[in-house]
Amino acid sequence: MLPPNDVEDVLSCLPQALLRVGPDLRVQWCEEGFAAKTGVTLSPGSTLLEALEPGRSLDALERAIREQRAHSGHAITRTLRQVRVQVKPTHTNGTAGAWLVVEPSGVDDEGAFSQAVREIARAVGESLEVDRVCSAAVVSLVRCAQVRRAEVFLYEEDDATLKRMAVSDLEGLDAPQDAFDPSEDPYRQALALRQPQLGIQRGYGDAVGSVFAAVPLCAPRRTVGLLLIYKEQGASFSVRELEMWSAAASQLAVAVENARLLREAQSALRVREEFMSIASHELKTPLTPLKLGLYSMERRIAAGQPVALASVLKSKRQVDRLAGLVEDLLDASRLELGRLALDSSPLEVGQLVAEVVDHFRHAFERPFTVDVPHDGVWVLGDRDRLEQVLVNLLENAHKYSPAGAPIAVRVGRTGESARIQVQDHGIGIPGADQALVFQRFYRARNVSHRNFGGLGLGLFISHSIVKMHGGALALRSREGEGSTFLLDLPRMPAHEVRRLPRRVLVLDEDSNQEATAERTLRAEGFEVFTVQSGAEALRKATHLPVDLVVLSTSATQSAVGSFLETFATLPRARPVPILLAGDARPWWAQENAALCPRPYRPEELLAGVRTVLTREKRRTQPPVESELPLVTPA
């Protein structure tokens, strides 16, 4: 029995559409305005299979009709719109069938779509805090459309981990986890393609088997996370809904980026204000005694009184301190602008360490120990900049260590790297600060500006310089027990080290003999220094070790004194072998000291030099070193 004609007029006033199907899913009757209401074109004799998309929802609907039982669920039409279908079994004149009440579902119509987008935009625009933006988004999503749950996952700012920031409902143990594997589908596809992907929710609570959409949060420059939207069981998503979620996700992504930018700007302002406070204090600290010292000297000079050398030296120290602070600021600015250039050349790390530590030994009453391998550890680097890094590390070790506490510096190898290790027994660095100490202007919380000066730039500059060399600067520390900084630099390949010229210092009182030795050795590829070259030439080359000293045995006492003064200008990481030149060994020489004839003859001189260098090479064996654990900065 079909409804009377006047019933058709009544049905036209309702949003739902009505049709009757038989057990074979063929349409027996449908109201006149069915297509206008649902967007689905059906006529008597056609089947539901022609109008609906295959899937689990259609399978459930088909089973309910064939088994003559009531059913309510969602289905996707061939035009990819979502409809809600209620099944009412019926028997008319002995013929089985079912009435289907069909109505549009979700937000497929333009009015609902626009309203939902406006609501979500308003919700996420009310706050500039990331947590509140995400929370407002999921609440408005659930309120504006027929979804069961919404979640927002964002990338952590310091890595590629996705972490849940907001969820629309938390149902005790049935709630999803705070994190998931983004490499799984459909998350991976959504993130890679920057397009929504559908999946089946499984593994917890009453949501087993329900459909969800993974919608990427695409900001203009990057993907910031994922929006996960869960439907009720049996329901799916229409194309129009996915378009809406993508639009909402874009708004959310922009809101998240704006919130993060605001947070970064506020943090930068705080850092700037703190820096201005510290910088003004640090710059005033040396200025005050400098002004007083200059005023005192001015008065003494005006009164015709002598100025004490101690006053001049004290003022000079304050000027040097000011110059150091200004240079740190300039280096930080150069690094920020990418204008800090390196002038790299072969550098023996042990020699550099020996020279820098030697300066600290003379400047401070503190025990410093140096441990270097017997053979050289070579890197390609900017000598001045790497010295700056080492000075920063040693100054920090001295500054934060109690008086008399030892500081140890060790040079070694780890894999393909050269390692410099600076260890102190000072106040240490709290665990929460260790990942932050390499940032600009950062100072650990156990460091007060009153007791410990500085701008907080030393480690930032050092870390940046080491990175420019292709290396790494790391630390390990325990508060109250001290810190160990580990500087790793790429080592020069062995074949390149072998091509470096050997360096010989010739000390001879006879300028003609000295010139003969220099000419002979240079012709064989040696780099030669003499007393005639001057101490300044030696000081400029102290970053490279002297491999051998050729010393005349017939020098007078005054000449020997001049030799020793020149030799003292060379910081030595290792003992330097000596080749004696003369007819016999002097009384002060060891019995096994190498000796070559003098006046110099090229063959005899070269044979003696090569014998000493070969013997020295056999004596030195590369040490076997255990790997030290690294704690790298974030």
pLDDT in the model for residue 418: 93
pLDDT in the model for residue 171: 46
Provide the token pair at 548. Answer: 């051998």
Spell out the domain ranges in the chain. Answer: 5-104, 110-265, 278-337, 344-494, 501-619
Q: Is the pLDDT of residue 610 over 80?
A: yes
**403-419 confidence digits (pLDDT tens):** 889 999 999 998 889 99
Provide the token pair at 541. Answer: 């080359």
- Residues 30 and 33: their CA atoms lie apart, in Å, by 8
- At position 498, the amino acid (one-letter code) is R
- At position 529, the amino acid (one-letter code) is F
Averaged pLDDT for residues 193-222: 70
Beta pairing, strands 417-423 & 378-382: unpaired
Judge residue 322's burial from the number of C-beta atoms within 10 Å of its C-beta, 0-12 exposed, 13-18 middle, 19 or more buried.
middle
**Residue 409 near residue 421, CB atoms below 8 Å:** yes
What's the pTM value of the predicted model, to 2 decimals? 0.52
**142-169 confidence digits (pLDDT tens):** 766 667 778 888 887 666 778 888 887 6
**Residue 418 near residue 488, CB atoms below 8 Å:** yes
- Residues 84 and 105: their CA atoms lie apart, in Å, by 6
User: What are the CB-based long-range contacts (under 8 Å, 24+) for 127-133?
Assistant: 127/259, 128/258, 128/259, 128/262, 129/259, 129/263, 130/154, 130/165, 130/256, 130/259, 130/260, 130/263, 131/165, 131/166, 133/252, 133/255, 133/256, 133/259
- Residues 311 and 37: their CA atoms lie apart, in Å, by 97
For 5-104, CATH number?
3.30.450.20
Of 612 and 451, more confident: 612
Rounded to 5°, the CA angle 556-560-565 comes to: 150
Nearest to 391 by CA among 331, 346, 313: 331
Place of tokens 């020489």: 589
Averaged pLDDT for residues 21-41: 86
For 110-265, CATH number?
3.30.450.40
Q: Write a three-state SS string for 361-399.
A: HHHCCCCEEEECCCCCCEEEEEHHHHHHHHHHHHHHHHH
Write out the H or E segment, with its range, that includes residue 311. helix 309-337
Q: Is the pLDDT of residue 206 over 50?
A: no
The segment with the largest mean pLDDT, out of 66-80, 163-177, 320-334, 394-408, is 394-408
**Residue 472 near residue 630, CB atoms below 8 Å:** yes
Question: Among 336-340, 346-350, 390-394, 445-449, where is mean pLDDT lowest?
Answer: 445-449
pLDDT in the model for residue 410: 93
Please report, rounded to a whole number, the percentage of residues in the chain having pLDDT higher than 90.
Answer: 8
- The pLDDT mean for the chain works out to 77
Band of residue 88 on the pLDDT scale cut at 50, 70, 90: very high
Question: Among 48-57, 541-550, 553-562, 614-623, where is mean pLDDT lowest?
Answer: 614-623
- Residues 364 and 404: their CA atoms lie apart, in Å, by 10
**Residue 346 near residue 544, CB atoms below 8 Å:** yes
Question: Among 41-55, 183-197, 273-287, 477-491, where is mean pLDDT lowest?
Answer: 273-287
- Give the CA distances from residue 134 to residues 73, 154, 218, 398, in Å, rounded to whole numbers and listed in that order: 30, 9, 14, 48
Averaged pLDDT for residues 527-545: 62
Of 580 and 586, more confident: 580
- Domain at 344-494, CATH from 2.40.50.140, 3.40.50.450, 3.30.565.10, 3.20.20.70: 3.30.565.10
Topology agreement, domain 5-104 and domain 110-265: yes
Rounded to 5°, the CA angle 500-568-548 comes to: 35
- Biggest CA–CA distance in the chain, Å, is 137
pLDDT in the model for residue 292: 78
**437-496 confidence digits (pLDDT tens):** 887 766 655 555 444 455 667 788 888 889 999 999 998 888 888 899 999 999 999 888
Provide the token pair at 443. Answer: 């100072």
Q: Is the pLDDT of residue 310 over 70?
A: yes
DSSP 55: S
Provide the token pair at 628. Answer: 């030290």
pLDDT in the model for residue 106: 58
Can you give the C-alpha Rg of the chain in angstroms? 41
Please tell us whether the domain made up of 501-619 is placed in CATH 3.30.499.10.
no
Q: Is the pLDDT of residue 207 over 50?
A: no
- At position 208, the amino acid (one-letter code) is V
Averaged pLDDT for residues 13-30: 87
**Residue 500 near residue 542, CB atoms below 8 Å:** no
**Residue 291 near residue 319, CB atoms below 8 Å:** no
